[in-house]
Structure 1
Amino acid sequence: MTGHDFIPGVIGSLVVPTEFSHYERIADSDTTIRLERWKGDARIYLSQVQDLVDRGEHLQLSLKNQADIVTAVAAFDGQGSWISEPLRKLATKILEAFSEPTDSMLEQILSQNVKPVFRSNPHPYLSEATGRKLPRAAGGPMASQDAYEDQTWKSRPGISNVISWCIGNASSRSYESLWHLIIPPVMTFLDDYEARYKLCGIQLASNMLKSVPRELLRRTGVDGLLLRSLLSTLNHLRNPETPSLIRAAVPATLSLIHGTTAPGSSQRFEQLCSLLGDGIIGGVWIYAYADPDTIEASIDVLPDIIITLGIGAARYLKALIPQLVHPLIPVPLTQPSGPMQLAALRALGTVIDVCAPRMCKWKCTILEGVGKCWVSLVDSGAEDEKAYAVKVALRDTCAKLAIACPTIVEGEYSQMVAFDPILFKGLVIPLEHVESQ
C-alpha cells in the first residue's frame, strides 16, 4: 500500500477524540476504557506513519498530504491527556523528517487545517485578512462575549500543539506572510476565560516572541493587544492554575516589553510600572493575599521585574519591603514555608542590590525580619537542607545590606553581636569581610 492510499484513513484515525478536552471530568468508565483503547490504536497508526517516513515515501506525497500528516502527528508533540511517552517519542521522531518546513507547508497547515477550527470564533480585535489590530471590536460592544459562544475549537484537543509546532518552525522572515494565520489563534487562546487555555496562550505567545520581528508587532498594533492580554492574566485569581499563569505571564510580558520599547524610554518605564504596580502589587497582592501559592509565585518572578525596572523600582519600596519581610517573621503555631522564605529572600536581595541608595531608610525593617527568622531557625534546632538554605540566604541578605548601608556594620550588627554573640555572630558579617568586598 502506497502513502497516497493509506494517508486519509490513518489521518482520520489519529484525530484526537473530543472527550480528551475534558478528560479529567469523565466519570463514565466505558468512555475511559474506549479512550485508552484509542491511545493504543494511535500508537499503531503512528508506527505506520513512521514506517512510511523511514522508507522516504513522504517525499513523494503532495503538499496537502504532507501538511495533513504533520497536523495529525504534531498533536502528539507536546502536552495533553491523550499523549503517553511512547506516543510522544513516535511523534517527535516522525516530525524530524519535516523539521525544515517551507513557508508553503506552514501556510497549508495554518490556512487549511488550523484556521477552519477557529472560524466560528474569530477574535474580535483582529483582522482575519491581515492580522492587524482593529480600531474597535468587530461585531459591536458585545463582540468579546460573543466570541465565547459555541467555542467549537475546544472540541479539537491537540490543535494548540499544532500551532506550537508551526510557531517553532517559522523563521523571522516567515512571519510577514503567515502573520494573519498565526496571531488570531494565539490571541484566541490567550484571551480565553478558562485558565488552562489562557496558560496555553501564554506559552504560544512566549514561543512566538522568540523569533517574531518586533517591528511587525508594533506595525500591526499587536504589541499593545498582547501586553493588555498578558497583564490581564494577573487578574485571573483564585484558580488552581493561577501560580502557573503568573510564572508564565511575567517572563512573557518582560520579553514583549524588551522587544517593543526602547531602553530608558518612558514607554518602557510605564509598561514595567503597570506590570509591577498594577499587576503584582495592586492586583495579586491585594486580591490573592490569602493564597500562599499565588503569593509565592508572584515573589518568584519579582527579581526579573526589579532588575529590568532598575532604580525606578524604588517608588514601590513601601509595598515591596513589607511584603518581602512578612514571610520571614514567625507566626505562633504555624510552620514557616521554606520555599516562600527563600523566594522572599531572593527578591529582597535583588531589591537591596538595585535600590541600594534607598536602603538605609529600610535597613531596620529588613533587619527585624531577618533577625526574627534567624532566631526562630536557631531555636527550632532544625538542621535539614531547607533550614540550611534559609540560613545561607539570611546571611547573604545581611551581606548585601552591609554593602548598601556600610554604617550598619558598626551600628546595628555590632549591637546584635554584643547582645548575644553566640546567637547572632553566625548571621551578621564581620566588618573586615564587608570592607574587603
Structure 2
Amino acid sequence: MSLDSVITSLRVPADFNRYRSIDDRDVITRLDQWKKDALGKLRELHTRIQQERERLSLKQQADIIATAAPFDDGDEAWVSPDSLQVAHEILSLFSEPSLPLVVQILQNNVKTLFRSNPHPSINLQTGRKLARPAGGPMASQDFYESQTWKDHPGASNIVLWGVRNIPSDAYEANWHLVIPPLMALLDDYEARYKLMGVKIMSAMLERVPSSVLKRTGVDSLLMGSLTRSLAQLQSPETPQLIRAAISASLALIQLTTSTGSADRFDQLCALLGDGIIGTIWPYSSDRLPALLASIDALPPLLRALGVGCARYMKVLVAQLVHPLAPLEYENKSVELQILSLRALCALMEGCPERIMHWKGTILNGVARCWVGIMDSSETPSDGLKQELKKVSHALAIACPSVLQGEYSRFCTLDPMFTDLFHSISS
C-alpha cells in the first residue's frame, strides 16, 4: 500500500461526529472496527515515515501531520490509548516544523475544510473584523448551514496543531489562515466545538502579539464568543467549557489591556459581573456542575480584579459562604464547600481592604461548617478541614483584630475550635 493510500485510509469517518447519539448497532460495529483497524494503519504510517523521512515532500509531510493530529486527543470516540500514543510519536517527529510546513497545513489541509462556512464577521482574505456582518441580519443563521467541516472529525485538532506551531512573528502574515476556522469553532452552536475553539484560542494567546489582536479588531470578537460560551449550561461539556472560557477571557484581557487601566478594570468587571454572576449563577441552582466550574475558575479572576471586587462583595460573600452551612433541605456538596473556601481566600487576598465589614458573615459560615464536621458521624474530609484553616488564616491577615477577639472567644467557648483557631492565634 502506498503512503498516500495509508493516509487516505486513516481519514476519520464522518459518522464519528454523532457517535454518542447513534442507535444503529450495525453502524456502531462498523465504527468500532474502523477504530481497531486504524491502530494498525497508524503503526504502518509511523514505520513508513521513519523509512522515507528524507524523501517526503512538503505536501506529504503536511498530509501526515493532518492525518495524525485528529488522533492526538484521547477524549475523541475514534481514539484508543494505543492510537493516541502512536499519533503522539508521529507528531513528535515534526516537533520543530518549518514555517512553510505550518503554512502548507493551514492553507491546504485546514482552509479547504472551512471554506464553505465563512464567518459573517470576518474578512476571509485578511482575517480582520468586518465593520458590519456580511450577508445582513440573517447572516448568523446562514453561518450554521453547509458546515461541511463537521464531516471531517478531528479537523479542530489540525487547527490546534497549526496554532501551536506558528512563530509569534509570523501570526500577522498568516492571520487569514488562523482566524476563520477559529471563529467557526468558537461561534458554533454545539458546546463541544465551542470548547475546542476555546482550547485553540488559549494556545494562540500564548504566542500571538497583542498588537495583532487589537489592530485587526479580533479581540472584541473573541471576547464576545467567550461571553456567549458562558451561557451554555445544559451540555455535557458545560463544566469544561466554563472553566476554559473564564481562563481564556482572563488571558485575553490581560494580553490586550494595560495593568491598572480603566479598560482592563471594565473588562474584568464585565467578566465577573455579567459573565459569571449575571449569566451562570442565576440559573445554576439545579446545575451543580456549572456552579462548581464557575467557582473553581474564580480565584485568578478575583486576584486580578483586586480591590475592584468591592463592587461585587455582597453577592460574592453570600454565594461563597452559603454552601459552608447549607439549609437542612439542601444537598451538601463537599466539593462545592472546598472550592468556595478557595475562592474566599482569593477574595480576601485580592480585596483585603473591604473584608472587615464581612468578617462576621465569613466567620459564621466557617464556624458552622467546622461544627458540622465535628458533629458528623462520617469520616471528616481532610481537604475541607485544611481549606477552613486556610480561610481562617487569610481572615486573620485581612482583619488582625479577630486574633485576640473572635478567635480567642471561640476557643474559650468550646475546645472543638482549638484545632481551627488556636494555632493561628498563637
TM-score bracket for this pair, using the shorter chain length:
over 0.9
Residue number in structure 2 paired with 1:233: 229
Distance of aligned partners of 1:349 and 1:182 in 2 relative to their CA distance in 1, 3 Å threshold: same
Alignment partner of 1:27 is 2:23: yes
Letter of the structure 1 residue corresponding to residue 243 of structure 2:
R
Say which SS state the counterpart of residue 248 (structure 1) adopts: helix
- The residue that corresponds to 1:76 in the other structure is 71
Aligned to 1:412: 406
Q: What does the per-residue CA deviation read over 1:153-196, in whole Å, with 9 as the maximum and x for residues that have no partner? A: 11110111111111122111221222111111111111111111
Alpha-carbon deviations, 1:223-273, whole Å to 9, x = none? 111111111111122333221111111111111111111100111101100
Match of 1:357 in 2: 353
The answer for the alignment partner of 2:164 in structure 1 is 168
Q: Give the letter aligned to residue 360 of structure 2.
A: C
**1:65 aligned partner:** 60
Alignment partner, residue 36 of structure 2:
40
Specify the alignment match of 1:202 in structure 2.
198
- More displaced, 274-283 or 86-95? 86-95
Partners of 1:159 and 1:431 lie apart in 2 by 54
Q: Trace 1:91-240 onto structure 2 (pairs within 5 A).
A: 91-240=87-236
Determine the C-alpha separation between the residues in 2 that align with 1:359 and 1:48.
63
SS at match of 1:128: coil
| Superposed displacement of residue 325, structure 1 | 0.4
Q: Can you list the C-alpha shifts for 1:1-43, whole angstroms capped at 9, x where unaligned? A: 7xxxx13311211110001001111122211221122123222
- Could you tell me which runs of 5 or more consecutive residues in structure 2 were left unpaired when the two chains were aligned: none
1:71, 1:61 → 2: CA distance?
Answer: 14
How many pairs align? 425
2:338: which partner in 1?
A: 342
Matched, 1:256 2:252: yes
* Distance across 2 between alignment mates of 1:253 and 1:167: 18
**What RMSD in Å do the two structures reach over aligned CA positions?**
1.6
Instruction: Point out where structure 1 has 5 or more consecutive residues left out of the alignment.
Output: none
1:426 aligned onto 2:422 = no
Shift of 1:399: 2.0
Judging changes above 3 Å, is the alpha-carbon distance between structure 1 residues 423 and 330 closer, same or farther for their aligned structure 2 residues? farther
What amino acid maps onto 1:414 in structure 2? S
Structure 1 counterpart of 2:62, which letter? A
TM-score scaled by length of structure 1 = 0.93
CA contact (8 A) 1:234 1:280 kept: yes
Name the residue aligned to 1:272: 268
With 338-347 and 421-430 compared, the bigger mean Cα shift is at: 421-430
Counterparts of 1:361-400 in structure 2, within 5 Å, are 361-384=357-380, 386=381, 388-400=382-394
* Residues in 1 aligned to 2:316 and 2:162: alpha-carbon distance in whole angstroms: 40
Q: Distance in 1 between matches of 2:375 and 2:45?
A: 64
Q: Given the superposition, is the C-alpha separation of residues 335 and 285 from structure 1 closer, same or farther in structure 2, using an over 3 Å criterion?
A: closer
Q: Distance in 1 between matches of 2:424 and 2:91?
A: 60
Structure 2 residue identity aligned to 1:196:
R
Tell me if structure 2 keeps the 8 A contact 1:238–1:288: no
Provide the rounded CA distance (Å) in 2 between the counterparts of 1:212 and 1:320: 34
The percent identity for this pair of structures is 48
Match of 2:288 among 277, 289, 292: 292
DSSP-derived class of the 2:355 partner: helix
CA distance in 2, matches of 1:10, 1:257: 44
- Tell whether the 8 Å contact from 2:403 to 2:425 is kept in structure 1 after alignment: no
Q: Go from structure 1 to structure 2 and tell me whether the alpha carbon gap of 1:331 and 1:60 turns closer, same or farther (over 3 Å shift).
A: same
**CA–CA distance in 2 between the matches of 1:40 and 1:424?**
58
After TM superposition, the structure 1 stretch with the greater mean CA deviation from structure 2, 317-326 or 293-302, is 293-302
Indicate the larger mover: 276-285 or 375-384: 375-384
Partner residue in 2 for 1:401: 395
